[in-house]
Structure 1
Amino acid sequence: MSVKTDEAAPPRGRTPVRTVEVAGPPPRAGRLARKGTLPYLLLLPALGLTAVFLGYPLVTNGMLSFQNLNMTQLIQHVTEWNGFENYADTLGNDTFWRVTLRSVIFTLVNVVVIIVVGTLVGLLLARLGSKMRLLLSVALVLAWAMPIIAATTVYQWLFAQRFGVVNWVLAKIGFDSMADYNWTGTQLSTFFVISLLLVWTSVPFVAINLYAATTTIAKELYEAAALDGAGAWQSFKNVTFPFLKPFLMVATFLEVIWIFKAFPQVFAINQGGPDRLTETLPVYAFVEGVGNQHYGAGAAISVLTILILLALMSYYLRLVIRQESADEAEGSEKSKGGRA
């Protein structure tokens, strides 16, 4: 932008008059701003990187799902297309549907536990003093920041059959039968260890975000609720929960994605064992594709996993949108009643 000043010679005894001309933006920038293309141009680098690092693997995986690809085809560099045969075999396999049901139940149970525990820890952070809050926040961040494989290794050591800390502690406090207990020997005990690991690494995200949400709630609202005779539960229900609800919805949305696609925790604990009874869909796709060298079938399972996750999330989003519409309608009715 440029400023041009013209000063005319004034008559004697009068103040000089200045004329200021402000030039607009350059013609090309003005056209881009008017057409609204500038924001899209700024997004191009991020979209390009996303297409390269996310779109290319998805397209390649989708193409593999329509091929009969095993070690023989890889050695001979032969591309053998078989259409929808991989999808038909997968959908016609009872094991796939058992693993799908297991994955959905596993996800729902863990998400509920994570959200409940994370909410309680977030509310605890809001009530602690500054020093204890700082100490607990540091502990949560360290648990959240620990690499997945490192955390999994720690849990393998804690629940080891012969030299595990958990078995040693249980034996010391009187449970002698737990001295050599094999935590990865049954389906339920293996899932218990995996779930404990997932909850331990996921709760900090929920707790810290919900604590941040509680800082936006005005203290006057709690004082007004106390004057009206509201107890602790009524204050949480009528004051705290409405403010936390949007954060809980977002946290639930993210946790469903993270738990459903959890692979390293499930695989590293016991490789989907015992007897493949703890395989979830990501582990099942890896075992069928890489472990059994049926790469086309593994690619088809991974594509179906993405579609199932999209179906779950679309159902959840419909529930969220319906609930938001109901809340808005209730709020408008209350406002009308207040004006009346």
Structure 2
Amino acid sequence: MPVTGPRTAPTPAPAPVPAARPAPPSEGGAGRGPRRRDGSGWWPYLLIAPTVAGAAFLLLYPLLRGLVISTQEFGLRELINGDAEFVGLDNYRTLLEDPRFWEVVRRTFLFMAVNVVLIVVLATLVALLISRLGRFGRTAVLSGLVLAWGMPVIAATTVFQWLFHSEYGVVNWGLTRLGFESFDRYVWLANGPAAFAILVVLVVWQSVPFAAVTLYAALTTVPRELNEAARLDGASGFQAFRSVTFPMLRPVFMLVICLEVIWTFRAFVQIWVLTQGGPGDATTILPVYAVQTALAAQRYDLGTAASVITVTLMSGVLVVYFRQLYKQEAEQ
């Protein structure tokens, strides 16, 4: 038999190099580049223009109009005739020289501080409770929070009126059954501290659901491994929350606090329906003071000036809070 050499595998032929595709012709003509598909141009701005214009009209126009009225002598006669006289900063000077105004300012900040602290603390506790419940309990608590949050302000305020009614209120009935005979036919809203406390309870009850749901949604984004590692290192529940959970949720807490500051400053409906600022001035805060000044004495200029000062103070509180928060973030 003839001897043959070892077989070798045939060398594969090189793959053909695909030819480069010619660039597609420009859609806008020879002198233009390819058409951009990122949505740039005037069309998106035209779509949002009605919303921006409506928001600017509803927000900026009342603010500017209020600034103008606060620098005029604007009473009932000027409201009808329209010939208001420019007085500069006289209305602000009148308010700042009024001792009652500064009492209202102090009461406003006290009302805001008490409400915001209670809302944030209770909402945090409720959010932590929800995160530890099972599916059924979590669903029940969240449903109750949403229902309480969705109740109209007037309806909730009316419920509190009946709860603390002097003759038919459930609170007086329950306290007298427990042996506190001094609360029989007790008029809660005729006592200044009691009326103030009732309003705090009402505002906190209405505000905790939103804050609790928001904080619970943020808690679900915190990895469990971090808390478990902190607990393995010997940290208590409070230490784990302070060292792990709170730093990660600091922006959410900042948002909740800012919103609660704004809503507490705007707690006009509850106060006006329950006490109208009384008894005396025990529950009068700046929004109520502005309405009382405008309606009782028909001094719309002083009432508008008080409203401008309210907005300025609220903005100042938020600016100071943001600066302090950003300073802490920068130091970390």
* Same fold, judged at TM 0.5 (above): yes
Output the aligned Cα RMSD.
Answer: 2.6
Matched, 1:256 2:261: yes
Counterpart mapping for 1:235-246 below 5 A: 235-246=240-251
2-structure distance, mates of 1:35, 1:138: 43
**Do the aligned partners of 2:195 and 2:283 also contact (CA within 8 Å) in 1?**
yes
Counterpart residue number, 2:298: 293
Contact 1:118 1:203 in 2 (8 A): yes
Give the conservation status (yes or no) of the 8 Å contact 2:95–2:306: yes
Aligned counterparts of 1:304 and 1:23: Cα–Cα separation in 2: 62
Q: C-alpha distance in 2, partners of 1:91/1:283?
A: 17
Describe the SS at the equivalent of 2:84.
coil
**Unaligned 5+ runs, structure 2:** 1-15
- Structure 2 CA distance for aligned equivalents of residues 97 and 170 of structure 1: 37
Q: Which structure 2 residues correspond to residues 307-322 of structure 1 after superposition, within 5 A?
A: 307-322=312-327
> Greater helix percent: which structure?
1
Find out whether 1:213 has 2:215 as its counterpart. no
- Is the alpha carbon distance of 1:238 and 1:38 closer, same or farther for their aligned partners in structure 2, counting shifts above 3 Å? farther
* Helix, strand or coil at the partner of 2:188: coil
In structure 1, distance between residues paired with 2:131 and 2:69: 50
How high is the sequence identity, in percent, across the aligned residues? 42
What does residue range 17-56 of structure 1 map to in structure 2 within 5 Å? Answer: 19=21, 21-22=23-24, 43-56=48-61
Partner of 2:149: 144
Aligned: 1:274 with 2:279: yes
Counterparts of 1:237 and 1:263, CA distance in 2: 35
Is 1:168 paired with 2:173?
yes
Q: Does 1:96 align with 2:98?
A: no
Work out the number of aligned pairs and report it. Answer: 314
Q: Which residue of 1 aligns with 2:78?
A: 73
Matched, 1:284 2:286: no
C-alpha spacing 1:77/1:45, structure 2 compared with 1 (3 Å)? closer
- Structure 2 length as normaliser, TM-score? 0.87
The residue type equivalent to 2:24 in the other structure is V
Q: C-alpha distance in 1, partners of 2:204/2:277?
A: 18
Whether 1:105 aligns to 2:110 is yes
Pairing 1:116–2:121 present: yes
Could you say what secondary structure the match of 2:54 adopts? helix
* Equivalent residue number for residue 330 of structure 1: none
Q: TM-score, normalised to structure 1's length?
A: 0.85
Q: Which amino acid aligns with 2:101?
A: F
- Deviating more after overlay: 243-252 vs 202-211: 243-252
- Label 1:24 to 1:232 Cα distance change in 2 as closer, same or farther (>3 A): farther
Post-superposition Cα deviations, 1:254-312, rounded to whole Å, max 9, x if no partner, equal 11111012110111110000012211000000000123211111111111111111111
